[in-house]
Amino acid sequence: MNKIKLGVKWLDHLMPEGILVNSSTVISGPGGSGKPLIGNHFVAAWLRSGGSVVFISLQYPNKDFIVTSLKKVTNVELSEYKSHSYFIQLDAAISGISEIGPNEIKANMVKPDIWIKAIQKASSFLPKDGPGILIFGSALNLLLFSPTYEKQILTKMIDTVAKDKTRTYLFSISTSVKKKEIENLEKAADNLIMTRIENETFRLFLKIIRLKGLPYKTGEIEVPIPSGVLMDIKKVADYSRKRVIPVISKI
């Protein structure tokens, strides 16, 4: 399998043949604009095609929000894909990696060496059936608040999306801060999707900027995600800023 179609009407309109397997995609836009919800459609298509997914949870206090939002947006029950899913939860207060339970670890992803080890560890537990392994990380901009590791972890993320073709990567990142640094990550990805949100009406819009090796349509479309779900995402984004950024800022 060298490409995967997403099976969602509005995404298939923009990307009629889907995306290439073992490519990298960055979904970029302002904070609270629903980027992880768009990513959920990629995840759903991946799991339904027999692939495996590693979830890197940077802004969520635990995996429950991922499970709930995936169900709301795509009707996928992650409980049906236990053997094909693994969770990495950010914990900037520990030095390395800590086991939480089956298919779940905590890791200090701010540190570049732990970034690599955690992804490798999670991937080693998953089957490589179908399209293989998708690494789905959201709110990666949070890692850039570390005064010690900012440049190193940015370089590691850029290397990951630009050079690692053993897995497929899907990262969402906020442009609300660290915009210049984030532009370097955007340039390194094979595929780039930009989002924006109309705050007055709470409507979400999406545009494909770049798609490697496959056809795509230009032009912006409105993403059919209910405003209530978008509000939930914004609340989580606000929570992460208050909880996660102060801890990372001390590293």
| Domain boundaries, given as residue ranges, for the chain | 3-248
- Confidence category of residue 224, pLDDT binned at 50, 70, 90: confident
pLDDT of 101 reads 86
Please give the model's pTM, rounded to 2 decimal places: 0.92
Q: For residues 73 and 40, is the Cβ–Cβ distance under 8 A?
A: yes
pLDDT of 1 reads 62
Q: Tell me the mean pLDDT in the region 65-72.
A: 85
Q: What percent of the chain has pLDDT over 70?
A: 94
CATH superfamily of 3-248: P-loop containing nucleotide triphosphate hydrolases (3.40.50.300)
Q: Which residues contact 195 (CB under 8 A, 6 or more apart)?
A: 27, 28, 29, 30, 33, 34, 35, 38, 204, 205, 206, 207, 223
pLDDT of 36 reads 84
Instruction: Compare 6 and 242 and report the one with higher pLDDT.
Output: 6
CA distances from 64 to 67, 69, 78, 180 (A): 5, 9, 10, 32
Q: Tell me the mean pLDDT in the region 48-68.
A: 86
pLDDT of 65 reads 80
Calpha distance 205→246 (Å, rounded): 30
pLDDT of 200 reads 72
- Confidence category of residue 237, pLDDT binned at 50, 70, 90: low
Pairing verdict, β 168-174 and 133-138: parallel
Calpha distance 139→162 (Å, rounded): 19
- Which tens digits make up the pLDDT trace of 134-147? 999 988 888 999 99
Beta bridge partners of 127: none
Where is average pLDDT lowest: 21-25, 33-37, 74-78, 132-136? 33-37
Is 217's pLDDT higher than 90? yes
- Which tens digits make up the pLDDT trace of 150-202? 999 999 999 999 999 999 999 998 887 888 889 999 999 999 999 988 877 77
16-25, 134-143, 215-224: range with highest mean pLDDT = 16-25
pLDDT of 214 reads 95
Q: What percent of the chain has pLDDT over 90?
A: 62
pLDDT of 37 reads 84
Instruction: Compare 59 and 169 and report the one with higher pLDDT.
Output: 169
